[in-house]
Chains A and B, each alone.
Chain A
Amino acid sequence: KQEVTQIPAALSVPEGENLVLNCSFTDSAIYNLQWFRQDPGKGLTSLLLIQSSQREQTSGRLNASLDKSSGRSTLYIAASQPGDSATYLCAAPGSYNTDKLIFGTGTRLQVFP
């Protein structure tokens, strides 16, 4: 059974810092992994999707890596800004043959000026 864990649960940093958010999953037979952002009271916004054949995916100041063998993914945020304040969630498929995503509980990020 797939389980997804995110560390840390919360993070508060000054503007400009580079950040690393961690995600681990128990079933490495996944075909992709997704990172999302959620603002309070809103739905989730897709940030990055990494296919199992990829090791990294980049979008602007965001970079996500995937290491299936160790069951880990990392989201790197460069030069953080107050507008990055949100909850970041990672999600992995429940198994290789399902589209059901299993979510972690998220990392709540606050970037202060």
Chain B
Amino acid sequence: DSGVTQTPKHLITATGQRVTLRCSPRSGDLSVYWYQQSLDQGLQFLIQYYNGEERAKGNILERFSAQQFPDLHSELNLSSLELGDSALYFCASSPRTDSPLHFGNGTRLTVT
């Protein structure tokens, strides 16, 4: 158990809808990272937050947004969903920027 908690584990929704994925980092970890893993793309970095502020952006679509709250949990919001957004979404956390990342077990999103 990495100590990173992601909810829900599974999510099924229709095209055009909006969903929110939640991540609780390990106790004391200030950084949160979001990754997307689809069958044909591998693990893609989306975005990083550090202590509530956006630190880095990767290949995140404009339809996607994220935030990190004062209690350090993070949410990834996906809107106007398309079939191609079906994927595993992973959250990771680390205490400092020079520490290893520890990943949660992901949320499997299915868009129908």
Are these two chains actual partners, yes or no? Answer: no
